[in-house]
Amino acid sequence: MAVNSRYDLKLLYSREEISTVVNRLAANISNDYDGKDLIIIGVLKGAVIFLSDLIRELSIPAEIDFIGLSSYGDGVTSCGEVKIIAQPTAPVTGRHILITEDIVDTGLCIEGLLKYFSAFKPASIKICALMDKPSRHQVPVEIAYAGFTIPDKFVVGYGLDYAQRYRYLPQIYTLEEVSDEGQLASDD
């Protein structure tokens, strides 16, 4: 995906579809963590909108915190190597951590985050991801709470960006490259 190309947005998931999935995830999390000391860690910046909606659907108390990873050039590539640029401030030792991600692509970010948080000896660490691209995984990733399973497409909106654009959009779109003739270059 070239930074200088032109793109069109194609709707992938509507607000209604997103909220159905968020409600399902929140119900499962509420059920599984009832009575446990839960801390939900949002991965900046992409997971902010998802986390905000998710926690408001929980029926159990949870603390929230955030972790910032380094940005990756034009925004279309994945972590490759995880560099933490903003550390969480809340103590996590002995607590149940739920890492909340916007999307799992290669799985390398999650792998790095699991390694980082394991060092603090939490009671447990699990992953909640709004979207997953299983065909792109480079490492095994166990997603305890998975929203949408999507094909190998670049998606934006609902917190996800392309070069810092489109995060504010309330729905999720695929980014489709436009050919010179103005046609969608994608085949669907």
Positions annotated as catalytic residues are 105
Reference 173, options 86, 100, 184; nearest CA is 184
Interaction residues for ligand IMP, span 31-50 (CB under 6 A): 43, 46
Q: Tell me how far, at minimum, the Cβ of 114 lies from ligand IMP, in Å.
A: 12
Q: Is the CB of residue 107 less than 8 Å from the CB of residue 137? A: yes
**108 forms part of the interface with ligand IMP (CB under 6 A):** yes
Reference 155, options 16, 69, 50; nearest CA is 50
The structure tokens listed for 11 are: 């709707």
Q: Tell me how far, at minimum, the Cβ of 144 lies from ligand IMP, in Å.
A: 16
Q: Quick one: which of 105, 130, 146, 147 contacts ligand IMP (CB under 6 A)?
A: 105
Please tell me the count of residues contacting ligand IMP according to CB under 6 A.
17
Q: Is the CB of residue 112 less than 8 Å from the CB of residue 82? A: yes
Q: Give residues in contact with ligand IMP (CB under 6 A).
A: 43, 46, 78-79, 101-109, 154-156, 160
